[in-house]
Amino acid sequence: MNRPETSEYDPYYERYISLVADSDIIGVLGAQPTRLQDIFTAMPEDKGGFRYADGKWSIKELLGHVIDGERMFAYRTFRISRGDETPIEGFEQDGYIENAHSNDRSFADLLDEFSLLRRANMIFFKNLADDAWLRVGTANNVKVSVRALVYIMAGHIEHHLEILKDRYLV
């Protein structure tokens, strides 16, 4: 599948899409759970509550946010790919973090949830008809295509892995 055209998404999302270097988006998505497993399986549980600054998310909250993003991008992809033209609302990520209680969970539990979500999403993506990838809908008040959402989903993970490396694991 070709990368999305810039007309298929809001310029804000270029920051995520640009982080996906490979044109094999299904391969990128398939490799990300293993990358997360490699990072977090080796991390001590007590490091999960670490915040690099006051008011910033903990490491486990960052992982919880990645899970929330996976759900949200998949939901948008599902609806738009099925031809649903109803505008999809945005979501307030900080409110979701507050109510997820990720710091009370183990890394293993968080990783298991992400892996299962991604596995289900991969099955869905692999079975999308060619024309479904090009469908466009409205999410968070902007037009976006299914293929752009899938690139955004992958880039969102890359974005947060960079933040983890640059701000938490220094």
What the block records as the tokens of 66 is 């990645």
The conformation of residue 105, written as its DSSP 8-state character, comes to S
What is the per-residue pLDDT for 124?
Answer: 98
Residue ranges in 42-145 assigned as alpha helix (H): 59-81, 93-100, 107-126
The conformation of residue 141, written as its DSSP 8-state character, comes to T
What is the per-residue pLDDT for 49?
Answer: 98
Orientation angle between helical segments 59-81 and 107-126, nearest 10 degrees? 20
Residue 166 has pLDDT above 90, yes or no: yes
How many CB atoms are located within 10 Å of the residue 39 CB? Answer: 17
Sole residue written with tokens 């999308």: 128
Which residues partner with 88 through β-bridges? Answer: 139
CATH architecture of 6-168: Up-down Bundle (1.20)
Q: What does the pLDDT look like over 54-84, one tens digit per residue?
A: 999 999 999 999 999 999 999 999 999 999 9
Provide the whole-model pTM: 0.96
Q: What does the pLDDT look like over 77-104, one tens digit per residue?
A: 999 999 999 999 999 999 999 999 999 9
4-20 as b/e: b if 16+ CB within 10 A: beeebbeeebeebbebb
Per-residue pLDDT band for 22 (boundaries 50, 70, 90) equals confident
Residue 1 has pLDDT above 90, yes or no: no
Taking all residues of the chain, what is their mean pLDDT, rounded to a whole number?
97
Domain boundaries, the chain: 6-168
